[in-house]
Chain A
């Protein structure tokens, strides 16, 4: 399998005030290959959020290299990162982050707007993805008219619609009841079976066990990297 994203000796530090420097990542080496289902686990403050930002190329490392599809992101401009995110990363957030007062279809179309897909094509693909996640009956519902589990499925459809290389799910079950949580995890597993690469970020080992590979992080370092 080919390498999708590759982190080499990635360090990230933040300045808090004049002399206080927080080292969130202290030398991470991580390679994720196409088709993998990886869980990144760690307690809060472990640096897993920062790591997620690196994988989602929302942020650049202080030192070290992040390679996405063979390109080093540290050297890219914000505009180029936006294009790369649009093409390669599908985000699923804990709080769903759907646009309010906006139909499920319009929400799912969003990434395609920024990749310049025509209106007709956008609508067709958005509807396709919503049907795949089981929301074919709720295309015109706004987030307020959907349950938490349904909202997260809209978010997953949105993450899939641009056919990204990687689905990056940040605590996707964090705001859901356990039954809906299980449904979402099952959906992610199915997507992985169909060939999608999935990175699941969570603090909960129970949830992490659903992945094929578990990367544990603590104090900015990877403490274990094993098959589930």
Chain B
């Protein structure tokens, strides 16, 4: 057999001789690979996004939320989302939790509700969050200017507010904001600080678009007796299971099992990622089917090509090509077609994922690129062998007579 380099050059020449056909043949692979890359990148982007969001919530965090959430092994979301509106949790519950003997560093409370903040006729619709001083700390929230809400603000139920930067901008523009009075739920609140931006402050909430008031003031303004979240910071990561169990035990003295849930972020992240992982694999799998269809397309064209080029094959054999020279030329043609299709597909998939990342977070992973390459090369070999074998076995006499 002649050198692989020579055969490869023959194969490439023959691909270039039929540009339109080659591109059409590659199209199946291009679409297949691009969709695998794109869908997997969206799935992985979502996973990464959610992990990041939870990490920003603060470390070693255990939360008590109303309603039945995340029970039952791997399927953590089986109980449905937290039932914030039907909450029975109160500030007293948080105090009781804080008194538990155990590896608990701090306990905070929170309420979130959509609402508006007005100043001199300008109104900004935003999220009004009532938080205890501890809860602000647990959620890693701080001010860039002014002062933070203190325990005494909470205890006294003072009408003070910390505003996110986009709220500040809408209401005050470049003007002075600290010390001014804004109106929230019909009551006057004194602006005491500007929230430090930490990107998106957890679970897709933009902290720049936040107005934080003491949790007690929030209960007053919105006429609530309950709270929505008790945030508990465990001393170390290893303490989390113990914290969950003691908190649960304490709250069960007062509530039924269905009234509340105690979850830690890592188990939530894990279960959400598990679900997203399955979705990613499913999406990738569906896209991979189109790769197989693309492979069948290559085989189809290669078979047509062998028939169409029967005389050429006969001639090559007559002038001295051995069966293996022909075999490898056709296999290399198929592999070159599917690999170039793979490369173009990866580029298009990556570009597409870049474009989509404007709206949804995406992440093109190394393994999905390697997999796409591997699969497209494999597809080329698998679907190229049959036509190549047919070509290599052609009888030169018959092939030369072929019209």
Q: Which residues of A contact B (CB under 8 A)?
A: 53, 56, 58-59, 78-79, 82-83, 85-87, 89, 91, 93, 95, 97, 99-102, 106, 110-111, 113-116, 158, 162
When the two chains form the complex, which single residue of A59, A87, A89, A116 contacts B397, counting CB atoms closer than 8 Å?
A: A59
Distance in Å: Cβ of A201 to nearest Cβ of chain B: 13
A115 nearest in chain B by CB position: B320
Cβ-neighbour of B17 out of A89, A101, A111 (below 8 A): A101
List the 8 closest A-B pairs by CB distance, nearest first: A86-B320, A114-B320, A111-B319, A82-B322, A101-B17, A97-B315, A79-B322, A114-B321
Complex-state Cα separation, A115 to B318, whole angstroms: 13
Cross-chain contact A113 with B311 (CB below 8 angstroms): no
Within 8 A of A (CB), among B296-329: 311-312, 314-325
B6 sits at the interface (CB 8 A): yes
Known contacts: A93-B400, A110-B316, A114-B2. The answer to whether A78 contacts B323 by CB under 8 A is yes
Across-interface contacts of B315 in A (CB, < 8 A):
91, 93, 97, 99, 110
- Which residues of A sit under 8 angstroms from B325, Cβ to Cβ? 114
**Number of chain B residues close to chain A: CB under 8 A:** 24
Residues of A within 8 A of B319 (CB): 85-86, 91, 110-111, 114, 158, 162
Of chain B, the residue at the smallest CB distance from A94 is B400
Partner of B2, one of A58, A59, A102, A116: A116
Which residue of chain B lies nearest to A111 when distances are taken between CB atoms in the complex? Answer: B319
Question: Which of A59, A82, A93, A101 is B320 in contact with, Cβ under 8 Å?
Answer: A82
When A110-B316, A113-B10 are in contact, do A82 and B321 touch as well, CB less than 8 Å?
Answer: yes
A114: contacting residue among B18, B312, B316, B400, CB under 8 A: B316
Report the tally of A-B residue pairs with Cβ distances under 8 A: 65
Chain B neighbourhood of A85, CB < 8 A: 318-320
A25 to B324, CA, bound (A): 31
A114 contact set on B, CB distance < 8 A? 2, 316, 319-322, 325
Q: Which of A58, A78, A99, A101 contacts B318 (CB 8 A)?
A: A58
Assess the B320–A97 pair: CB atoms within 8 A.
Answer: no
Instruction: Give the Cβ gap from A89 to chain B, nearest Cβ, in Å.
Output: 8
Which chain A residues border B6 with CB–CB below 8 Å? Answer: 113, 116
Query: Which of A58, A87, A100 has the largest count of B CB atoms less than 10 A from its CB?
Result: A58
B3 at the interface (CB under 8 A from A): yes
Interface string of B259-302 (1 = CB under 8 A from A): 00000000000000000000000000000000000000000000
Which residues 127-184 in B have Cβ within 8 Å of A in the complex?
Answer: none
Give CA–CA (A102, B3) in the complex, Å: 21
Given A56-B318, A85-B318, A116-B3, check contact A79 B400 (CB 8 Å).
no
In the complex, chain B residues whose CB is within 8 Å of the CB of A89: 318
Beyond A58-B318, A86-B319, A113-B6: 20 further Cβ-contacts under 8 Å? Answer: A58-B397, A78-B323, A79-B324, A82-B321, A83-B320, A85-B318, A97-B315, A100-B17, A102-B17, A110-B316, A111-B319, A113-B10, A114-B316, A114-B320, A114-B325, A116-B3, A116-B6, A158-B319, A162-B319, A162-B320
